[in-house]
Each structure stands twice: as structure tokens, then as C-alpha cells.
Amino acid sequence: MRGIALALVTLTSALAAPPQVVTDTPVTQSLTAMVMAGVGTPTLLLDKGADPHDFQLRPSQAAALEGAGLVVWIGPEMTPWLATGVQTTGRPALELLSVPGTVLRQASGDEEEHEDGTGQDHEQSHTGGRDPHAWLDPRNAATWVAAIAGELAKADPDNAAAYAANATAAQARIIELDADLAHRLEPARAVPLGVYHDAYGYLAARYGLTIAGSIAQGDAHDPGAAHLAALEDDLKGALCIFPEAGHDARAAETLASDTGLRIGPPLDPEGLAMDPGPGLYPALMTALADGILACVRGG
Ligand SMILES: [Zn+2]
């Protein structure tokens, strides 16, 4: 009798379908996939290569959102196009930037560093608020996998133990990654760098890097001539300028040839060109360090 009961329990939990979990960006999908390993695969809304800051849902994606058992997303500062969807569908949602314990930085869009008195050169598309690129501090990724496991446990209590165990393993992996990056990036500390868009504040703060300026103004706009001229000033004393995956490298190339900066490999801080899945997040962080070091060392 006990044997039969045990067999039934096993059968029931094997048949319990996990909820449909919908995620916004490749990084969120990756962290969620780590937590769901062996149970299910979260859906990624963003099309491969698409700019997360500037995207529109297709009807099939809106339908996925409609039927989601859980939506995991960074927050409205990252994907404004998803904010309305999350609100109107009323599906259970976990906003990662609002998870307690998240280390937050303010967006630098309205910072004073470009104040030059003319008041017209540096109009920014950002209006301040939270800088959404918070996964570039791995401590946040570690905090988030635990929060994701907690929300999944509510949506799918049958698999709560698996989610908790996966989150613990993911945290250990992320903490190890963080220590490894801190060690590897030491040669890049205090070497001023230019980047494509204003995504690297968390990475810089965590590992002691110096970002001297970014080509794009705010997050989703092409640079103007006045901004590029001011940027050349900001980049005096910098060593490298990095283009970015999914964006035209010409502005970086022009800056490099005008200023004598080394041009680094394209960085991919949002994982837009990478294969989605649980391995994306550690691969993304490792590739950022590899790319930065390749240029800093003159490779
Ligand atoms: Zn961004």
C-alpha cells in the first residue's frame, strides 16, 4: 500500500505542468532558466538581436503574456513597452529592480558631468530614475535567483524544492563568477574606457572600472554631432572605445581614428547576440571581461 501511494505521488508531481513563465530580456530568461532547470523553460519575449529599450510586442507575444503564470521582468526603466502589458494583463509579475536587497544606481542621463553652460549640447533621453542594467553587478543576479525561486514556488508549489535547490546552486556559481571577474579585471582598473551606451555603471562600480563617456545619449537614441564633439573631450586620457553588439560600429570607429583610442571588440552587455538559456548570464559577464581585457592589454 505504501509503495502504491509513493508511486502515485511521484506520478502526480511528474505530471504537474510548470506554469508558463514569461521573461523580458535574455538576461532575465537566463537567470530564470537556471532556477527552472529540470522543471521547465521560461519564454523569452524579446526577439534575438532586438533592442530591449525599444521594442513592440507582436500579437503572439502579447498572447503569451496574457497566459503567463508568472512574468519576470527587469522593470519599466528597461522595457517600457512591457510595463503596460504587465499592468493590463494583471498576471503575477516579479519586477527584479524592486526585489529587496538589489543594489541600485541612478541613471546618469541627467548627471552633471556634461554641464557646459550652453544647455543644448547634452539633452538626454533618460529622465533619471533607476539605472536598469543592474545584472552587471553579479550580487544582484544572486539576489534575484532567490527571489525568482520564491515567486515560482508560489505559482508552482509542487516544484518548490527544485526551484530552491537550483537557486542555491545558481547563487554559488554567480558568487564564484563575481570573485573571478574581480580578480581578472584588476589590470583594467583605473584605465578610462569609452562605451557605446550608458549600460556599464554597475559593472564599473563593482570592479573599479572608469567609464569616461558613452556614444549613445540615453538608451535608445543615436548620438548627435554636438554630443560626439563633447565626447571627444571626455575621452581625452581614455585608452579604449568599445562598439556594441547590435549597434552600428561607425561612431566608435570614427572616434577611435579621431582621438587615437584603441577600438575594442563589440561588447554585449544585454546578451542580445548570444544564445539564450541558463548559460547566457555567466557567458555574458565573462565575455565583457574578455573584451575589456583584450583592448586594455592591446591585443
Ligand atoms: Zn541598455
pLDDT, tens digit, 9 for 90 and up, residues 204-229: 999 999 999 999 876 556 678 888 88
- Cell numbers for 289: 571581461
**Would you place residue 190 in the very low, low, confident or very high pLDDT band (cuts 50, 70, 90)?**
confident
Provide the sign of the torsion angle of the four alpha carbons 98, 100, 106, 107, taken in this order: negative
Averaged over 180-193, what is the pLDDT? 95
- Cell numbers for 56: 513592440
For 1-55, write each residue's pLDDT tens digit.
455 555 555 555 555 688 999 999 999 999 999 999 999 999 999 888 888 888 8
Averaged over 270-291, what is the pLDDT? 97
Do the beta carbons of residue 244 and residue 234 sit within 8 Å?
Answer: no
- Cell numbers for 294: 583584450
If you search the block for the grid coordinates 497566459, which residue do you land on? 67
Instruction: Tell me the CA–centroid distance for residue 153 and ligand 1, in Å.
Output: 30
Instruction: Tell me the CA–centroid distance for residue 218 and ligand 1, in Å.
Output: 9
- Alpha carbon distance 122, 107 (integer Å): 15
Instruction: Tell me the CA–centroid distance for residue 198 and ligand 1, in Å.
Output: 7
Instruction: Tell me the CA–centroid distance for residue 63 and ligand 1, in Å.
Output: 26
Instruction: Tell me the CA–centroid distance for residue 207 and ligand 1, in Å.
Output: 19
Instruction: Tell me the CA–centroid distance for residue 148 and ligand 1, in Å.
Output: 22
Nearest to 214 by CA among 244, 191, 177: 244
**Would you place residue 299 in the very low, low, confident or very high pLDDT band (cuts 50, 70, 90)?**
low
Instruction: Tell me the CA–centroid distance for residue 144 and ligand 1, in Å.
Output: 19
Instruction: Tell me the CA–centroid distance for residue 197 and ligand 1, in Å.
Output: 7
Instruction: Tell me the CA–centroid distance for residue 58 and ligand 1, in Å.
Output: 21
- Alpha carbon distance 265, 258 (integer Å): 18
Where b means 16+ CB within 10 Å and e means fewer, 15-25 reads eeebbbbbbbb
Count CA within 13 A, CB hemisphere, residue 139. 11
- Cell numbers for 269: 552587455
Ranking 32-36, 97-101, 105-109, 263-267 by mean pLDDT, the lowest is 105-109
Using alpha carbons, list the distances in angstroms from residue 223 to 80, 226, 239.
Answer: 21, 8, 21
